[in-house]
Copies of this chain bind each other. A is one copy, B any other.
Amino acid sequence: MTRFSGAQGFMGPFSPDGGSSIAPYPPWHYAADFLTIECWVEPSRVEALLPPGLTLHPQERGLVTVSFVDWQACTNGGGELLDPVRAQYRECIVLVSVQYEGTLMQYCPYIIVDQDVSLARGWALGYPKKIGSVWVTRSMGVTSIASPAPGPDSVFAGTVAVKDRRLVEGHVKLQYPADATAVTFGSRPIVALRHFPSMFPGRLDQPSVFELVQLQAENVQAGPVWEGSAHLAIFDSPTELLSALRLERIGRGWRYSLAMTNHSNHLLRDLRNAD
């Protein structure tokens, strides 16, 4: 365990009071503004990304959502909000439709975030986060040409860049209110892959941690959901997997806000000895 000689922390750096940790202990409370676009990509490309235990669901082969998200997060005391550099970040999360033992779930093969606290939490939870630059159109506290309010004909956009290259951009023109439960983040179970590599000679392909897990969002609270027509473009990249998914069709888009809490994961399978 992480208590040794008085050094504490959810992760390192370990310090007497745990305050130096790259990420604080859960629970983590989040609030976010989401812009989500659904699309279909070549199913075999998604299939190739799935860990053991997950397969495509016959009715949602190749279905992917790309979400551009403005997050604010804190621990129980809420103290991060007094120093918001520690509380705010933007993220692009890609979720693909999968089934696990017959249940429809969403799996995250790719996710970009712009801050280290969130990156570290993501690795602990099973999200393979990398650092990038994410931007999302905002709705300020007053409506004007410079500040759309969610509603008919308002347009919200999101963009992502990784290592100085624009990777994705999308926007949604809102049309009508939608049913929240169908589309919001976490409305379906999220399955993730916790992984941590070995560094020992000859064992680089035998990870120290390789677990299929289910995420346990709690206290989920979604605001009104607006739905509309969507545009999405994924650009070429020498490295990023998103560019290789081959976009076949773009679906609808949604804008909504959401609050939730994360405490812990539920283990589905330890994959270290799988096939």
Contacts and interface: CB of A to CB of B under 8 A. Distances in A.
A221 B144 contact: yes
Contacts of A128: 11-14, 22
Given A13-B110, A159-B164, A26 B195 contact: no
A263 B199 CA distance: 8
B264 A82 contact: no
A53 to B, nearest CB: 9
Contact of A72 (B25, B52, B131, B146): B146
A84 B137 contact: yes
A142 interface: yes
Contacts of A12: 128, 193, 195
Query: How many copies of this protein are present in the complex?
Result: 4
Interface stretch (A58-66, A208-216, A246-254): A208-216
A219 B140 CA distance: 16
A74 B157 CA distance: 14
A6 B48 contact: yes
B47 A5 contact: yes
Contacts of A129: 22
Interface string A149-172: 010000101110101111001010
A32 B147 CA distance: 8
Interface residues of A, number: 121
B204 A10 contact: yes
A142 B200 contact: no
A129 B52 CA distance: 31
A105 interface: no
Contact of A256 (B115, B141, B213, B256): B141
A270 B63 CA distance: 42
A142 B221 contact: yes
Given A5-B48, A130-B116, A239 B20 contact: yes
A100 interface: no
The 6 closest A-B pairs by CB, nearest first: A12-B128, A141-B257, A31-B147, A144-B259, A161-B164, A15-B241
